[in-house]
Structure 1
Amino acid sequence: MPPVTQRNVSFGDLKRHLLSVAEAAQVANMDADSIRKAFQRGILEPGYIMDGNRRLRAINGLDLVYLRIAPSYSRVVRNKLRTALHKALADQIVYSSVHIIIEDLSGRKKSVDVPLERAVDETLAGIEDLKQTSQGIEVGENGEALIRGTNVEVHRIAALVEGGISIEEINHDYPNLSEDQIKIAVEYARVHPKHGRPYPVRTVKSIFRQGTGTMREVLSEEDHTEDDQARRG
């Protein structure tokens, strides 16, 4: 029997982790479209999770391990690897590698050892990072994601970063936020995109500070702030 990984995690443990496509893309550091294509082509079978009233396709942790490994191997090895992973018993501890036998063009058998340990470790570490990020977020009365312990909207801060505002500038306009809280907002928004009207990419203070904005930008930001205050009552 092959040696097991140092984490002593079972195949069932990995399968119990269900991530949305956006979350999985973040954990695996890959394009979300690649995961969607894997579903469409029947390479992976999606699970489902609920996000509020929305039903989202989800990928389990074991399939995420497979996606991390697959690009390094031929189609024949990938197919045998996927079969081997899904035939494993749920309570079986994950091996450090999978031994696969294939045939070359001449019909000769060839053995391939596919390491699992690094992919398992990176996948579990990424899932843990997601959990840590979520712990820094809370949901306001209006359903808006807020940075925990503040009334600052997650997607507002993420929009500023996406618009090119530096963390130092954001700290200037939001002195109650730490650098870690700003980074958490960006990470959370990346896997939980905002629906509906987007937030402005600059604050009123930054517009006046830089002296490059237009009155339309100022009014847009003020309108958005007033809308948010009205929703919070």
Structure 2
Amino acid sequence: MRKQETELFTPAEAAVLSRLSLKAVNNAIDKKTVTARRTRAGRLLDEPALVYLSLERQLAGDTTPEFRRRLFAEIAAEPRRRVVSVGALKVDIGESRREVMERLKQLRRAERLVTVNPEIMGGNPVFRGTRVPVHQVAELLAKGETVERLCEDYPRVSEEMIRLAPIYAAAHPLRGRPRKQPWHGWKPVATWSIPIRDLK
């Protein structure tokens, strides 16, 4: 019988799935509250770590670091249990697991709606069948633009695509500095000055 391969997640994906900040996820890894696997791709987390991180969102201020490490160890030891015990305390992890799995479904759906092709928009992620950059839509939503307005502005992009854009953008942040535009550094062809009094 073949052993099922464990799915692993980047810290950015873990932050989206657990609803913690990326800084909090990296902090949990750095303090060894959760165990990350080190690979060529970087530090990766498994499903028990995601369930624990989802719980940490609720427990961080009320528990000690030692308790949190023991809680993660219990979750990792038997990841399918609904209730884990740490000393005399029993913790129900079923709801946290359901939340993580629901967010994972949304993330996987968002990933299916997005394509990355070096020939389209310079390799930036765009919605499948369009040239609309996912990160641009997520940024517009973060600035307060409404889903309805974006549907009007981008008729080839569905409402579902727009709603899932922030999840995809957070899980797959753009890397590096923004690319320079081809005209960057060009000297203007012509310049002229207009006196302020003529602008009235």
TM-score for the superposition, normalised by structure 1: 0.63
Residues 173 and 95 (structure 1), Cα distance of their counterparts in 2 relative to 1, 3 Å cut: closer
Counterpart residue type for residue 178 of structure 2: R
Residues 172 and 49 (structure 1), Cα distance of their counterparts in 2 relative to 1, 3 Å cut: farther
Query: C-alpha displacement at 1:136, in angstroms?
Result: 0.7
From 34, 55, 76, the counterpart of 1:44: 34
Aligned position for 2:168: 188
Aligned-residue sequence identity (percent) comes to: 24
CA distance in 1, matches of 2:155, 2:77: 53
CA RMSD of aligned residues (A): 2.9
TM-score for the superposition, normalised by structure 2: 0.72
Query: C-alpha displacement at 1:49, in angstroms?
Result: 6.1
CA distance in 2, matches of 1:162, 1:120: 27
Listed one character per residue, the Cα deviations across residues 125-181 of structure 1 (whole Å, up to 9, x for unaligned) are 221221111111111234321101222222232333334433333333322222222
CA distance in 1, matches of 2:39, 2:126: 22
> Does structure 1 residue 62 correspond to structure 2 residue 52?
no
> Does structure 1 residue 123 correspond to structure 2 residue 123?
no
Query: C-alpha displacement at 1:115, in angstroms?
Result: 1.0
Aligned position for 2:190: none
Alignment of structure 1 residues 38-187 onto 2, 5 Å: 38-48=28-38, 55-70=41-56, 71-72=58-59, 74-75=63-64, 76-88=66-78, 94-101=80-87, 111-142=88-119, 143-187=123-167
Listed one character per residue, the Cα deviations across residues 153-211 of structure 1 (whole Å, up to 9, x for unaligned) are 2223233333443333333332222222222223211222223327xxxxxxxxxxxxx
Counterpart residue type for residue 125 of structure 2: A
Counterpart residue type for residue 85 of structure 1: I
SS in 1 for 2:34: coil
Listed one character per residue, the Cα deviations across residues 98-146 of structure 1 (whole Å, up to 9, x for unaligned) are 2332xxxxxxxxx211112111211222212211111111112343211
- Tell me, which stretches of 5 or more residues in structure 2 are unaligned? 185-200
Task: Provide the aligned length of Structure 1 versus Structure 2.
Answer: 172
Residues 99 and 162 (structure 1), Cα distance of their counterparts in 2 relative to 1, 3 Å cut: closer
Residues 170 and 85 (structure 1), Cα distance of their counterparts in 2 relative to 1, 3 Å cut: closer
SS in 1 for 2:152: helix
**Could you list the runs of 4 or more consecutive aligned residues of structure 1 that deviate by over 4 angstroms after TM superposition?**
none
